[in-house]
Structure 1
């Protein structure tokens, strides 16, 4: 680029800045109009990126080689439908007879159980009763200590694995392993600490849990011994999960004497089911916010076009004087487009900040997980500049094509 072109560009930039600053109200309306649209676009991109990262995390900790079976049919919530449908016979026969099974861990649970250690207490946490190798079954590493053993289950031992949240609430930064604390009305000893996962599910944090032997839970809370609330099943060949799940469903239906037209009285959840749910959620989110973003950005564009059209009339004498002094049509066109680009770029940055701020609020409320990336920055700024050029070109051309004599007379 020649020295003359650079000088002209610098002059146009100064004049564009002066015009933007001179018409503050117009500039503010354009910035806000574009900003709201870019904020919606920012939310879309960051929320989708966050959902994809969350999907990867959920699949990793759930395990691609496992299925979680709940009693009751979540998809067919008929009035009076039973949720206690998984029996000891189901667990035994699946362990012994279902092809490809490597591990079956049945579970019962008790919600909102108060726990306490000295002066530290939690009003209510989830207590899960499970058989041996709970951490192994859930691919959940232990930070320290050991897993529940078959001997613990046989004896109904008063031992527990702690999730990260109750460990911090009860013991702070100290190790909980070897310490005793109260669960409901009885004392247990912590034998292991589960690694922090930071995910949420089922209406609460997955780290907010205490796991004790299933026999201990059943005896201490006088629970029904015949049924289990859920069972975790791991398979040997994860690449054949679709076949494993179909075999499991057929096996359960046969075990429960269900006819061809009867609905399942159980629910099977796998990593694929989680991905399908997140994909549907992501699609709905993109559709909703996409319409909002498109509408907001279009409105911002029309605000820019209308205000610039008015500005051409208001500044006709200025344009006529510049043309009389030798300004070319291209120079006038470039100045107006530069003004539009400056305003929409600022609007894009404002919208980016607004979108990220709103995203952080939604993240703290647990509604969305927002993930910032440079892709968001460049997409937001690029879309704002596109608005400036698309909607600013018509008034810019009108300004460039004004007759200088008519403009100086005020007839334009």
Structure 2
């Protein structure tokens, strides 16, 4: 076929698409739903990858988190407060390779006030000196806690980004005094914005106020013996497997656990966090993948059936074109062009639907999406494949019609 013949076939295909508007609507919508699901898959997986790297960056490749209780084998009514101040001291002093141990203690749903402004539902987190170093969390401004702040239970704090903005807007909070549940605290630093959930119960990590640990336990009357968890950092991140094994062995000895007993604690590292996120991502891909394939298949069958009916209805048109000298290849090309135009239109619509739905789910904190150009390419590529695969049979059916029989059928 010559380029001129192809151009004429394309022009006639565009005219047919505009003429049969109801068919155009049904086919485009059917394909759009499948492409929207495909768009969600790609953007959600990319978003999950970005989130995984952010979490691991915050977690730190050289760190381990120890939680009280066995999360994987927890029985009903089992104690979860199993980590003590003595555990923290022994790990810090006796475990080779450890250079930092930070107890984890928090009080939730506290309210901060400053000159008539309030920030409610915050987490008050207890910390020792060098909080930002312990949690790989840089300061936007100000300073970190010092050993003296911790030793004398100073009434100072670090503000997360959300309460800082709620109380001070764009102004600097450093040097101001806020009230946290009526406890006056001098703001000495502001934490950099992190921007994702993960602070427990779906809580945003930026929605917190950091206090010296003795200040938190004294002012809020918290248990001084047990901790919810411990964060341990090692000097050599390449030996994490052996160091974590030594950490578990020490904790079992400190807790006097017999060989046959399960751990009464849980140790998490960055590798385990990545493995867990990979499992979630795999489940998400399977679920959305099946949905996308099913939706695209439905769109393809709608296309094939409507085009098969269209061939029957347009038999006189096809017969007239053949009688006037049009080759079967030109008829084939016209119907394939029609199918591809319809599916590409559905693909563009589905791309915008998928991205819009992804943005909505991100705002509702159900999914996190990440747009890339491969989404655009895959959406249009998937639409093109659907058009060619499901449009080929009706197009061949139209091209194979006998001109005389077609004209008789149309009459």
Matched, 1:71 2:57: no
Give 1:251 shift.
1.2
Give every structure 1 segment of 4 or more consecutive aligned residues whose post-TM-superposition deviation is greater than 4 Å.
Answer: none
Distance 1:200 1:78 in 2: 27
2:403 — aligned with what? 404
* TM-score, length basis structure 1: 0.97
Deviation digits for residues 229-261 of structure 1 (CA, Å, limit 9, x no counterpart): 221111011111122211111111111111222
SS at match of 2:303: helix
Name the Cα RMSD after superposition. Answer: 1.2
Distance 1:116 1:110 in 2: 16
Give 1:411 shift.
6.8
Give 1:60 shift.
1.0
CA contact (8 A) 2:84 2:226 kept: yes
Give 1:112 shift.
0.6
SS at match of 2:387: helix
1:211 — aligned with what? 210
CA contact (8 A) 2:155 2:184 kept: yes
Distance 1:244 1:345 in 2: 55
CA contact (8 A) 1:160 1:212 kept: yes
**Number of equivalences:** 409
Distance 1:115 1:156 in 2: 19
Which deviates the most, 337-346 or 77-86? 77-86
SS at match of 2:24: helix
Distance 1:362 1:107 in 2: 31
CA contact (8 A) 2:113 2:179 kept: yes
Matched, 1:342 2:306: no
**Structure 2: gaps spanning 5 or more residues:** none
Distance 2:231 2:165 in 1: 27
Give 1:149 shift.
1.2
1:129 — aligned with what? 126
1:235 — aligned with what? 234
CA contact (8 A) 1:107 1:131 kept: no
Distance 1:60 1:45 in 2: 23
1:298 — aligned with what? 297
Matched, 1:104 2:135: no
1:11-410 to 2 correspondences below 5 Å: 11-201=8-198, 202=200, 203-410=202-409
Distance 1:399 1:181 in 2: 78
Distance 2:391 2:252 in 1: 65
CA contact (8 A) 2:119 2:163 kept: yes
SS at match of 1:410: helix
Distance 1:355 1:290 in 2: 14
